[in-house]
Chain A
Amino acid sequence: MIVPAARGSGRPGRTYPGLVRREWDWLLSHPVEADLLLAAVLLVATVGQSRADPLILAVSTLLVATIPLRRRYPVQAFTTALLIAALQVGLGMQPRGDYAVAALQPTVAEFVVAVLLYTLAAHTPRRTSIRGLCGCLILSAIAIARWPGSNGLHPEPAILGASALLASACLTAWVLGDSVAYRYRVAYYAALEERAARLEAERDAQARIATAAERARQLQERRALAVDESAARLRRIERDLHDGAQVRLAALALSLGEIKEDLEADNDGDGGRARMLIGAAHASAKEALAELRDLARGIHPAVLDRGLDAALSSLTESSAVPVELTVSISKRPSPAIETIAYFCAAELLANVAKHSSAAKASIVVSDDEGELVLTVGDDGVGGARPGDGGGLAGLRERVQTVDGKLRIDSPPGGPTKITIVLPGHA
């Protein structure tokens, strides 16, 4: 029995002889054409059986016409076919009917009912398809009962055979359809499960992303705290030095200076050795003061406490290359950012003096949507690259500790423009 193509459920793994497989695959992928083909085959068979009797043909055509509708309206198509079949069995099966009655004779087209039962079983809940199966079996029973052969024209084995044939045709159609439905259901549940698993995986991934984002945010916060704290600590160290060691050392130097001058004024005694020792101690104290001052300045330039503008002014006024400074910021960045900007500017100006042979330089500081933009330019020879000993790589690293950016625009022959973008706070 040929099972009509049902929703292209053909399994790709199945093997057929080359040519048949191609046709079969085509039918599977073209269900409407397959249905029309089946309808046409049944009609041709009916024509052959009824010798092209127009009335019989009309009724059979009506019956066959339900086939193309079966996929979209399985219940309606099946009900219609079953009704037509019932009319044929009820009215057409008479020993000597007149012409109109003869037109309702069952034909080969009754096969449509089996096809539609299959469709019903495949596409509707079992509850519905079992009712359909019952309808078919009852109709088969009536047909057998009304068959002319039942009145003794045929032997009993023929009747039994016909009954078995009809019943098994109905059952086979239903079982085939139901198994397809079962496959659909299995596939459907599998798809559901797969989808659930996918959703689960997606939720997991999203949860992981959220966790990572949260972690990144926490780390960012902690880094900001660490950067601010380290800037504040350096400032405290500088202030402690200023208020403590530096001032004590200065007072000590003052005392030594006094003693030295007293000893020098007092020429009469033989204090030559003491004078020498005091002179050395005095000189050491002054050297220590200078070293301590450089150290403290390296830790935190005190002038930064008066703001970036003041600090950069101080820097540019002592630059070897004349610098034009423009500072236009509406809001002071955090101290840590100011410190980074200051040391960057200092390093870049030192680079200008050392490497660029520039006649003049410029520093522009502005803020752009909460970011601090520091641009140091010069009219020198250009060709500045990170990693050429100019300290640009180190600067970049320093800037990146707060997610800042450093851009180098320095073609050979100049001019050089280095832009540093820093966040308003770490």
Chain B
Amino acid sequence: MTPWGLGGALRHSRLQAILAVAAIGAAVALPVVLVSVGGGVSAHELANLENAGYQIVISASGIHGIENAHALAHRILSTVASTTAASPVLSIAIDAFTATGGPTPILAEGVIPDQFTPTLGPTEDGLFPNPLPLGDPTDDLHFDNGTYVGPATYDVLISTPYESASGVKVGDRLWLGPVANRSQAIAYNVTGTFGVPPSLLGPTGAFAIVLPLSDLQVMTGYGPAPSAVIPDAADTIEVSVTGSVATNPSALNAVRAQVQALVPFYGVSSLTQEAQQLQSASSVLTGFYLALSSVGISVGLLFLALVLLRRVEADRRSIGVRRALGLPGRSIAAGILLDGIVLAALGAIVGLVAGYLLVESIATWAKGTVKEAASLAVFSPPVLAALVVGILLLSLLASGVATRSALKIDITEALR
């Protein structure tokens, strides 16, 4: 700090300077953590979307809200050009029993095997056997045009975490039922295993199974009409398109519109739209984090203003002497502004470092979702630079208050 400004005085009041730096540092660390972790999670989800093997998703309001899923999938493939797969997926928690144990709550996913595989992204693709060893690849035999009277294979794939935990191996039998009652469970053949992709915000799926869609529908009462509340139900239908369409937003949107025309009563969105929505949501969240952090930043800068004001009060005589000697007001103002900026800059640096270390500590020492979220943190230089510039600009405001006070000091009173 220049010995000519009040910086020299601040050298002699280190405690106040340290406290001001600490206050601003704490105020800066919070947005650094929120924005970096929030941005990292958003980027991760965005990457997941971009890496998905499907490009269009059909969804309905309510749970398991899509009906006639088998027929819809066939119709999409037969009428909408450029579609390569239409995979209905029904996800329901059921109970599993081993030969000696259970029940164990487990997430069951009902799929049509030959439609499911093409909709897997690069990450998931390596985790599942290809083709899926679930008997009838089309699921049409058991489904049998909605009568569900065809022969079922009763094949099931289990996740590797469940395999490890339960001791069930490929070739063993596993009893599955909609309630925790073995007498209502049906025996399935374990025909394969699959890995669980890294998951952060969705269902963990650690204990998960995959079985034919029609099997799960019958088991859970979402199968044949009229007994089922929603016949042939699914939660979503994921639609893959040809590579040229997938990489062309306008062509993809045209396909999406054709699918929407087929199912005007369901929501149809492309992943491009979802990615845009996610980016918008991420921007809103970043703004929200910064707004939330502005409270802390305001307190930090208020503290800075108070420290500078206190210094001005303590240095009334020195300021009076400077002004009596004829030093222009701007040189006195410059000294105070410099002090404010230096303290704010130091606080910002401390905050950036503290925020980074905090995120790294959480990623190292925390557990569960918090740890995973922290490990995804992205420290975006433009965002952090904008934060620092904002702090410095606001510090000018805080310094301005003290400067105004200094320039209003009456010289004759200060020299008494």
Question: Do A and B belong to a common assembly?
Answer: no
- B residues within 8 Å of A by Cβ? none
